[in-house]
Amino acid sequence: MKKQIFRGSGVALITPMFADGSVNFPVLRTLLEEQIARGTDAIIICGTTGEASALNDEEHLSVIEYACKVVAGRLPVVAGTGSNDTRHAIALSCAAKERGADALLQVTPYYNKTSQAGLVRHFTAIADAVGLPVILYNVPSRTGMTIQPETYAELARHPLIVAAKEASGNFSAIAKTAALCGDSLALYSGNDDQILPILSLGGLGVISVLANVAPKETHDICQLYFDGRKEDSLTLQLRYLPLIESLFCDVNPIPVKEAMNIMGYEAGPCRMPLAALSETNSTRLRASLKEAGLLDT
């Protein structure tokens, strides 16, 4: 069995910003410390939720380096360094390693896309060049690419390709992947409403948007399951479904950043082209936060 990066809830952390769109590092420190204090099992920095696609390379690496320094080895820090250009992904990943990242999150190539054979070449080249554990990220709704179970099985032969964040929602394919890969590829849910189904297939946890606003609760969904308290885990999963739905009422991370602002965290705006949440959805989000016990007023 390959060494696990983490087990439980990894937060797909937002990147807080000032009103002018620059990164708000003091608030980022606050968020990191709170995640650690409230039981999160890993920090995933500069992923989709962290608006990596809107950060230039200097900003991207500055955020990764800052997170690694603040966390200081208390939790694994997984850096999102994927690209649809293999050379760029390698360069960014090597730089992230130099700045302290413990592992990498690598999304499938987008826009230009590729074949399944191209996926194998792309991810293998990154793992070979960088020398850090790699979590593959399968999110067809954003990239137009799907990693097939047989491709997962081929990639899982690489000693540094250790896990997958599965956001396809295709449980038949995920089950086949689990059957083909066994212990050679850990599975994490990439969808907060599907944590338990992934765990039931042998998954190790979730890379979570929900954990930004409910870190302990997201950790507990996983830990209760691992402890054999599956009914209690299910109760929590179902309790937070309305909030999860509200957190995805618009393009991620628009709603979760708004939720953090409502809760007083000064998360700031999203960068363009993402637009502010509508008044209707903001009202819905506020009500869901209150119903979940995360907002007093």
Whether the Cβ atoms of residue 126 and residue 94 lie closer than 8 Å to each other: no
- Could you confirm whether 230 is annotated as catalytic? no
DSSP sequence for 174-196: HHHHHHHHGGGSEEEESSGGGHH
- The residues, any chain, with a CB within 8 Å of residue 110's CB and separated by 6 or more, are 84, 142, 143, 144, 145
Distance CA 109, CA 2 (A): 25
Gap between the Cα atoms of 256 and 95, Å rounded: 28
What is d(CA 202, CA 185) in angstroms, rounded to the nearest whole number?
10
Is residue 188 annotated as part of the catalytic site, yes or no?
no
Catalytic hit among 165, 188, 225, 257: 165
Q: What letter represents residue 104's amino acid?
A: L
Q: Which of 66, 137, 240, 265 is catalytic?
A: 137
Count how many residues are written for the chain: 297
The distance in angstroms from the start CA to the end CA of the chain is 48
Pairing of strands 205-208, 161-166: unpaired
* Catalytically annotated residues: 137, 165
